[in-house]
Amino acid sequence: MSDPGSLSNAEPGLTHIDASGAARMVDVGNKAASKRIAVAAGTFLTTTEAIAALSDGQLAKGDALATARIAAIMGAKRTPDLIPLCHQVALSSVSVDFDIAATSIGVRATAVTTDRTGVEMEALTAVAIAGLTLHDMVKALDPLATMTEVRLVEKIGGKRGHWTRD
């Protein structure tokens, strides 16, 4: 097993690890606030029957998309409570969109802030929480439903500027 200190020396991009290999919260106090946007996406896989019930408003638990949207926004707002070492940021907005297909629902979340650090984790958390909520809403019809491919799609602002997934 390698020395924890060598990890931070070998991987200088690991900002949440100090020189000794210990976890740390990054100090963003000297950074200027700037507008930052992050977009994340994921795919919720289920059955045609569950999609039909969801689309027709026939789920016993109610409106799955409205519930998943609210849960996603709430999740983005609570990200620092869920992800260790994640900074609390002042979210300007969080939007969540769904793309319904025959056996899947595409989930896309956009988080926006003007702050000293980015909102990638907030966008990713929103997508994951939307997927968990959709699963809860359809599990009686499809206990095998799965949230897949949760990923960062795009980020704007900060040191690296504009980045998109190829």
Q: Compute the radius of gyration of the chain from its Cα atoms.
A: 18
CA distances from 142 to 59, 64, 70, 138 (A): 12, 14, 22, 6
136 in active site:
yes
Indicate the Cα dihedral angle 74, 29, 10, 162, nearest 10°. Answer: 60
Q: What are phi and psi of 138, to 5 degrees?
A: -110, 0
Cβ–Cβ under 8 Å, residues 147 and 72 = no
Q: What is the DSSP letter of 83?
A: S
Catalytic residue among 18, 27, 56, 136: 136
CA distances from 86 to 5, 80, 103, 117, 159 (A): 22, 5, 34, 10, 17
Residues with catalytic roles: 136
